[in-house]
Chain A
Amino acid sequence: MDDDVLLRMRGIVKEFPGVRALDGVDLDVTAGRVHCLLGQNGAGKSTLIKVLAGAHAPDTGTLSWQGEEVRFSSPSSAIHRGIATIYQELDLVPGLSVADNLYLGHENASAGFVRRAAQGEAAQEVLKKLGHPEIPVSREVGRLSAAQQQIVSLARALARDARLIVMDEPSAVLAHDEVANLFRVIRDLVAEGVAVVYISHRLEEIRQIGDEVTVLKDGRTLASGLPAAGTPTQQLVSLMTGRPVEYLFPSRPRRTGSAKALLDVENLSLEGKFESVSLSVAPGEIVGIAGLVGAGRSEVLETIYGARRRTSGAVTMGGRALPAGSVRAAVRAGMGLAPEERKSQALLLGEPIVRNVSLASLPRMTKVVPGWLDRRREKATAQEATGELEVRPGDVTRTVRTLSGGNQQKVVLARWLLGDTRLLLLDEPTRGVDVGARSEIYAVIRRLADQGMGVLLVSSEVPEVLGLADRVLVMREGRVVHTAPAGELDEHRVLDLVMEGIVG
């Protein structure tokens, strides 16, 4: 048994100024098994894999590789030993071909000249082994889909003869069927004796692919060696959060009659993305859009908001027709967007909370002359809005970068509470938000709706749409294939619809 332990970490401690990110972590990874790491954001998962990958040197603690104590001085020394890490943000070079990426850093070359033909063949071989011979090895990586890039990352790990592959939330960018394919690839690798460390927020995935589970909390190992399939959800969640909660969806209020629509979208189309989408949202109503990644959900949201210029159709907000492609008109009409990529599309990470919250309502924060900032009012209103949403910490001068995913999302929501926002467009509102904070976000969204806000919600997690929305639109390949009250749908039905498009 003990001989199979490929990697053994003991008492790993890693400190950053002001934070003890890892506080004595133990981890054993066995060849031929999938070891899942569970933990909330900030539990230390990312730091742990960076230690593993040689990107961070631990302050104390030991690392042994195949029974021999090692110190990784740099990522390349870890790669050299056979540890490959696939980060959330894929570290491929978009301007280089697939083959060039696979052999980046260990090119098959003589006298500085790359043996292109040999390398291309070898790359083809690796991709075939992964079950993806259709990916052209000469194509630029930047022109591949997210799923294909994920496969290329894996292929690169194989091309380096990795014995241990670390995957940080690989499914975050993948659609359902692509995840299934990824799992098939992982199983093949494991069967050949490769060890996999798999990190994910999604418990269902861990049950499907994992052999054993290690739970991290506050930089410590809380439990290890738990059987992935056999451990009750309740137990895993309570280990991660310290309290026994499942996702709690707030109850829906009984809707009284048909209120006049707040948002009316008619035959909205964006060439190449979606066609003839019609929908309406009433004040106080949460409308959800379900569908696979690539079905056009986010694009619909962004086009309604004016961030993309529609090719045809009409958007009416509160009785006023909105011009195409104008975010400012949409905001003035009372829309607010919480985009999918919070960090790159919504937040000024290096700025304090208050400046992030006031960003969309600066003209309202002035005194004496237009343009002169009333900083006291700015701070007070931001304080009020973040207080209402229970953003933690409550100090609005804190830099947004230091907040957890859930609190960052609340900062984005708070931004739209300052103005006259009547319709919130939420794209993946709980992506990157840990299990404990999700229920809180759900409660906030429902509370806003109860106060009369209209909400249009997009999520790739079907239970989220079903649990939160009053009405659900199902999209498939750029079209709305079904619309129904959330109560009349269940997860299987929605999955059938998004995958097969079967109606009735």
Chain B
Amino acid sequence: MSVEQSAAPTVTTGGPTVLARMRGTEIRNLGLVAVLAVLVVIGAITSENFLTGDNLENILVSSSVIGVVTVGATFVIIGGGIDLSVGAIVALASVWATTLATQSYGPGMMVLCAILVGAGAGLVNGLLISYGRMVPFIVTLAMLVSARGLAARLADNRTQIVTQQPIKDLATTDVLGIPLLVLLLAAVAAVGWVLLNRTTFGRRVFAIGGNAEAARLAGIDVRRNTALLYVLSGTCCGIAAIMLLARTTTGSSTHGNLYELDAIAAVIIGGTLLSGGRGTLIGSVLGVLVFTTITNIFILNNLATETQNIAKGLIIVAAVLLQRRANRES
């Protein structure tokens, strides 16, 4: 008898056939959408400025930089790794792309430089982890410290001003009424989604994160694919660095501070297992949106950053608790 009761649908929207066809991850993403909806309601009630076009745009733009970083972090975490160095790589790329020498070659070179620096730092991470057989946590921790150090030296501890107008324009351009930065995030997320869900590489990432030994014994080159994960994460950091240059019009060794924590938190809230092998990009992007929306609500209500941080911490814990329940049921 208790079976019939517990088997009754817990969500009544959408009808039973749709629900039955959905996988656990999709149901979880639906949960995140619901959380977002609740936040929007809270925002609308507590502040009359929340539901304005400008503010919603603001939320999306604030999500764009960390969003791109989170896309890369999602790959790494699904692949069973962790990348603590994302914030530092963003800083290094932002500084390297804004040195007088780089800027003198024009905006194209700045973009190329940021992406190459990001990918290069990621490659160092990846090689040390896969071929050097070191623990991801340690390697990327070392990169976190040294990349920021290198950035500070390169910049001589000064903030470098972006002089190239086209770069600054990135932050102010709209395409079809949507800010370019938001479109960039959408583009990176879309490419990431295809890579993760429609290619052999994506399949291997899941396999390596889920069971590296099984992947190896099935003839998959675990080391090369693991190294690629960190290159991918680093490349995302390079792209994020350019977006940050556009928003702040500066390159600085203090950019991207604590991005690693925000990115990892968003990935976890998005339902990706920290132990690897399972997760979705859509969840991660929703996770970022949840975070930025909360920040936005706090700012609109003039609440202190300290309170904000406490709330964020609570939300991470709550999200993981909820997911554990969802996992048990699925």
Footprint of B on A, CB under 8 Å?
15, 17-18, 20, 59, 305, 307, 327-328, 330-332, 337, 339, 344-351, 355, 358-360, 362-363, 365-366, 371-373, 375, 415
Say whether, besides A350-B278, A372-B198, A327 and B216 are in contact (CB < 8 Å): yes
A17 lies within 8 A of B211 (CB): no
In the complex, A366→B203 CA distance in Å? 12
Q: Nearest residue in B to A415 (C-beta to C-beta)?
A: B218
B199 lies within 8 A of A360 (CB): no
Name the residue among A328, A331, A359 with the largest chain B CB count within 10 angstroms. Answer: A359
Q: Which of B2, B199, B217, B221 makes the CB contact (< 8 A) with A346?
A: B217
- Tell whether B304 is near chain A: CB-to-CB under 8 Å: no
Contacts of B218 in A (CB 8 A): 331, 346, 359-360, 415
- Tell whether B329 is near chain A: CB-to-CB under 8 Å: yes
Q: Nearest residue in B to A347 (C-beta to C-beta)?
A: B214
B127 to A: closest C-beta gap in Å: 19
In the complex, A358→B220 CA distance in Å? 12
Contacts of B215 in A (CB 8 A): 359
Q: Which of B200, B213, B221, B277 makes the CB contact (< 8 A) with A366?
A: B200
In the complex, A355→B216 CA distance in Å? 15
Contacts of B3 in A (CB 8 A): 15, 18, 20
Contacts of B6 in A (CB 8 A): 17
Say whether, besides A15-B2, A17-B6, A59-B2, A345 and B200 are in contact (CB < 8 Å): no
Q: Which of A307, A349, A358, A363 makes the CB contact (< 8 A) with B217?
A: A307
Say whether, besides A348-B206, A366-B200, A337 and B217 are in contact (CB < 8 Å): yes
B303 to A: closest C-beta gap in Å: 40
Q: Nearest residue in B to A348 (C-beta to C-beta)?
A: B210
In the complex, A467→B104 CA distance in Å? 78
Contacts of B203 in A (CB 8 A): 355, 358-359, 362, 373
B216 lies within 8 A of A307 (CB): yes
Contacts of A346 in B (CB 8 A): 214, 217-218
In the complex, A229→B207 CA distance in Å? 47
Contacts of A339 in B (CB 8 A): 217
Contacts of A348 in B (CB 8 A): 206-207, 210-211, 214, 277
B214 lies within 8 A of A359 (CB): yes
Residues 1 to 39 of chain B near chain A (Cβ within 8 Å): 2-3, 6-7
Q: Nearest residue in A to B201 (C-beta to C-beta)?
A: A371
A351 lies within 8 A of B200 (CB): no
Contacts of A372 in B (CB 8 A): 198-199
Contacts of A349 in B (CB 8 A): 210-211
User: Chain B interface secondary structure, helix, strand, loop or mixed?
Assistant: helix
Contacts of A307 in B (CB 8 A): 216-217
In the complex, A18→B204 CA distance in Å? 31
In the complex, A307→B213 CA distance in Å? 10
B219 to A: closest C-beta gap in Å: 3
Footprint of A on B, CB under 8 Å?
2-3, 6-7, 198-204, 206-207, 210-211, 213-221, 277-278, 329
Contacts of B210 in A (CB 8 A): 348-351
A423 to B: closest C-beta gap in Å: 13
- Pick 27 A–B contacts, CB within 8 A, sort by A: A15-B3, A18-B7, A20-B3, A307-B216, A307-B217, A332-B219, A339-B217, A345-B214, A345-B217, A346-B217, A348-B207, A348-B210, A348-B211, A349-B210, A349-B211, A350-B277, A350-B278, A359-B203, A359-B207, A359-B215, A359-B220, A360-B220, A362-B220, A363-B200, A366-B200, A373-B200, A415-B218
Name the residue among A18, A59, A371 with the largest chain B CB count within 10 angstroms. Answer: A371
Contacts of A15 in B (CB 8 A): 2-3
Contacts of A347 in B (CB 8 A): 211, 214
Q: Nearest residue in B to A355 (C-beta to C-beta)?
A: B203
Q: Ordered nearest first, which 7 A-B pairs have the shortest CB separation?
A: A331-B219, A362-B200, A360-B218, A348-B210, A359-B218, A371-B199, A328-B219
Contacts A17-B6, A358-B203, A362-B204 known; 12 new A-B pairs at CB < 8 A = A59-B2, A305-B217, A327-B216, A331-B219, A346-B214, A346-B218, A348-B214, A348-B277, A359-B215, A362-B220, A365-B200, A366-B200
In the complex, A327→B222 CA distance in Å? 11
Q: Nearest residue in A to B214 (C-beta to C-beta)?
A: A346
Q: Which of B199, B202, B213, B221 makes the CB contact (< 8 A) with A328?
A: B221
In the complex, A413→B293 CA distance in Å? 49
Q: Nearest residue in B to A59 (C-beta to C-beta)?
A: B2
Contacts of B201 in A (CB 8 A): 371
Name the residue among B204, B210, B215, B221 with the largest chain A CB count within 10 angstroms. Answer: B210
Q: Which of A20, A360, A366 makes the CB contact (< 8 A) with B219?
A: A360
B225 to A: closest C-beta gap in Å: 11
B241 to A: closest C-beta gap in Å: 27
Say whether, besides A344-B213, A345-B217, A359-B214, A351 and B206 are in contact (CB < 8 Å): yes
Q: Nearest residue in B to A307 (C-beta to C-beta)?
A: B217
Contacts of B217 in A (CB 8 A): 305, 307, 327, 337, 339, 345-346
Q: Nearest residue in B to A344 (C-beta to C-beta)?
A: B213
Q: Which of B2, B199, B214, B219 makes the CB contact (< 8 A) with A373?
A: B199
Name the residue among B206, B211, B220 with the largest chain A CB count within 10 angstroms. Answer: B211
Q: Which of A17, A20, A373 makes the CB contact (< 8 A) with B198?
A: A373
Contacts of A305 in B (CB 8 A): 217
In the complex, A372→B202 CA distance in Å? 10
Q: Nearest residue in A to B216 (C-beta to C-beta)?
A: A327
B276 to A: closest C-beta gap in Å: 11
B329 lies within 8 A of A344 (CB): no
A401 to B: closest C-beta gap in Å: 11
Q: Nearest residue in B to A365 (C-beta to C-beta)?
A: B200
B226 to A: closest C-beta gap in Å: 15
In the complex, A332→B220 CA distance in Å? 11
In the complex, A393→B190 CA distance in Å? 35
Contacts of A366 in B (CB 8 A): 200
In the complex, A287→B174 CA distance in Å? 69
B164 to A: closest C-beta gap in Å: 35
In the complex, A331→B219 CA distance in Å? 6
Contacts of B216 in A (CB 8 A): 307, 327
In the complex, A346→B201 CA distance in Å? 19
Q: Nearest residue in A to B194 (C-beta to C-beta)?
A: A372
Contacts of B277 in A (CB 8 A): 348, 350
In the complex, A351→B220 CA distance in Å? 17
Contacts of B207 in A (CB 8 A): 348, 351, 355, 359
